[in-house]
Structure 1
Amino acid sequence: MSVSDATDWPTSALDAAATAFAALTCEPAPLVLDCAAFGADTGLPQRVMPLPALRDWLLRHPRAYTARDEVWRELIRRARLDGPHWVVAAAGMAMPALQQYAARLCQGYYGDPADVDAEILTGFLTALRDRVDLTKPAPYAGLCRAAWRAGRDLRLQQQEYLPVEDIEHVAAGPRTPRVPYGHPDLLVRRAVSLGILDPEDEQAYIDVRLGRRAIEPIAATNGVSVDALRMRLSRIDSRIAEALADGLLTGVASPETVAELRRQAEQRGQRRAGRAAAARRETSQVAAAAAA
């Protein structure tokens, strides 16, 4: 079976995702996960399992929290790094919960149920792509919360509102927006100009910290491990916090302070270059040993 075999493609986003999942997981070459890689202490069957069978096992074992967390961390990693078919796989693995949310939210809903389905799936996919932090427990619960909230927000738009003839009588105080303290992007740019944040880290910092994007694809793009990038961003957080506390990002820095910050930036660059050179030498030595 393939997706192209379907003559009547579902109009519901959830039904379409379920159909695509069925196509990806049918014989003769279904998507699988090797559950032995997760370890015997998870309680998972120690064998390669097609995703539908793995989903059924997780549904039959609702208290297998460790197993569920390990499986979903792997699914999220693959969805972020290994292509669209794993995005479909993750949606299909969550489909029982997503369809349950849709059924509950559509009770008494006067709009098109397909709109609720679409919002639920969009919320799930957004969290799958960028929002769920794999270092925290219960990643699947985070995906489900995002899906539920997206569908609930659509329902809340149906709530009645109170019409008034003159907004001036009900709006307390001035309505002119206040000037923001400082746009985060501008503060990051100033941090780069002062040497607090290295230029090669600027985009990664903006993507992860301000854009709340998933760290795994960004680490892969930058050619570093996830742990290395996470530690690098944590150190940047500390430097920016100190700079904000000292007023460096919102005031005028003395020439002496600027010189010291740039000296520290040069030291970081030298250390990074040294580590990169050492890694290249190690790679060359391993390749030479393998060829011998």
Structure 2
Amino acid sequence: MSVSDGTDWPTSALDAAATAFAALTCEPAPLVLDCAAFGLDTGLPQQEVPLPALREWLLRHPRAYAARDEVWRELIRRARLDGPHWVVAAVGMAMPALRQYAGRLCEGYNGDPADVDAEILTGFLTALRDRADLTKPAPYASLCKAAWRAGRDLRLRQQEYVPVEDIEHVTSGPRTPKVPYGHPDLLVRRAVTLGILDPEDEQAYIDVRLGRRAIEPIAAAAGVSVDALRMRLSRIDGRIAEALTDGLLTGGASPETVAQLRLQAGQRGRRRAGRAAARREAAAQVPVTAAA
């Protein structure tokens, strides 16, 4: 099967995703997952399994929670790191649930059902790309919840407007905000200026903590493991929380405090540079050891 075989492309987002999944997983070279990597205790077949067969296995074993979690963690990782075909694969694996949600939400709906399909798919993809946390249980459930909520929100927006209390009595006019004006990005920028947050960590911190982006692609781009980046961000959380408690991010800081913070930042930078040099040296020695 090919997505370019001359047939009309579906107008529904879910139908289009299902068509793409079918093309991606058809013979003679269907996309597969090596379920042997998940271990015997999951109950999964200990071999490479084509994704349609794996989807059927999961549907036949609704209480195989450990297996479902392992499979979906791997699908989410691959969708984030290994290209668009794994995004299509993840959507196709979830298609039975997504179609069920669409059917329920379209009951009594006066608009175009294709709009509901599109919202459900958008909610799912947003969670797949950034929102689902692989350190928590039931990642598939979080994807499905995001998809359902997106479709439900569309239905709610179609309802009549709710009148609100007249707000003309509210006092108008400018008010002077406190530095740094309460915006999280400005707090982070001030933390960098003071040396609480290292400049090379600023964008990663904004993306993960403020933007709620998935950590896996960010760690890969930085050349560090997910666990290492997670620990680094956790330490930054502690320093920022301490700075907020001390009023350093919402008020002034003495020259002595600034000097101390920058001294600590320099020490962190030297430790990080030392660890990076050690990793490079260890990597350079591997071929020599193997050759010996």
TM-score bin (small chain): over 0.9
CA distance 1:105–1:234, shift in 2 (3 Å)? same
Counterpart of 1:80 in structure 2 is 80
1:52-131 alignment to 2 at 5 Å? 52-131=52-131
Q: Structure 2 CA distance, aligned partners of 1:225 and 1:87?
A: 22
**Paired amino acid for 1:227:** D
Counterpart of 1:31 in structure 2 is 31
1:196-215 alignment to 2 at 5 Å? 196-215=196-215
Shift of 1:175: 7.1
Q: Deviations over 1:21-45 (max 9, x none)?
A: 0000000110000101000001111
Q: Structure 1 CA distance, aligned partners of 2:2 and 2:263?
A: 59
Q: Deviations over 1:96-128 (max 9, x none)?
A: 000000000000000000000000000000000
**Paired amino acid for 1:137:** P
Stretch moving more, 263-272 or 172-181: 172-181
Counterpart of 2:250 in structure 1 is 250
Q: How many residues are matched?
A: 288
Is the partner of 1:4 in helix, strand or coil?
Answer: coil
CA distance 1:187–1:23, shift in 2 (3 Å)? same
Is the partner of 1:5 in helix, strand or coil?
Answer: coil
% identical equivalent positions: 84
Shift of 1:171: 3.9
Q: Deviations over 1:206-261 (max 9, x none)?
A: 01001100000000000000000000000000000000000000111001100110
**Paired amino acid for 1:77:** R
* Structure 1 unaligned regions, length at least 5: none
**Paired amino acid for 1:289:** T
Is the partner of 2:33 in helix, strand or coil?
Answer: strand
Residue 227 of structure 2 is aligned to residue 227 of structure 1 = yes
Is the partner of 2:182 in helix, strand or coil?
Answer: coil
Q: Structure 1 CA distance, aligned partners of 2:171 and 2:63?
A: 51
Runs of 4+ in 1 over 4 A off after TM superposition: 175-181
Q: Deviations over 1:152-205 (max 9, x none)?
A: 000001112256xxx7x6448527598585110000000000000000000000
Is the partner of 2:44 in helix, strand or coil?
Answer: coil
Q: Structure 1 CA distance, aligned partners of 2:229 and 2:161?
A: 47
Q: Structure 2 CA distance, aligned partners of 1:126 and 1:102?
A: 17
Shift of 1:287: 1.9
Shift of 1:291: 3.4
**Paired amino acid for 1:242:** E
Q: Structure 2 CA distance, aligned partners of 1:225 and 1:291?
A: 27
* Structure-2-length-normalised TM-score: 0.95
* Structure-1-length-normalised TM-score: 0.95
Q: Structure 2 CA distance, aligned partners of 1:69 and 1:174?
A: 51
Residue 170 of structure 2 is aligned to residue 174 of structure 1 = yes
Counterpart of 1:8 in structure 2 is 8
Q: Structure 1 CA distance, aligned partners of 2:242 and 2:122?
A: 38
* Structure 2 unaligned regions, length at least 5: none
Q: Structure 2 CA distance, aligned partners of 1:287 and 1:275?
A: 20
Counterpart of 1:195 in structure 2 is 195
Q: Structure 2 CA distance, aligned partners of 1:175 and 1:55?
A: 58
Q: Structure 2 CA distance, aligned partners of 1:243 and 1:25?
A: 52
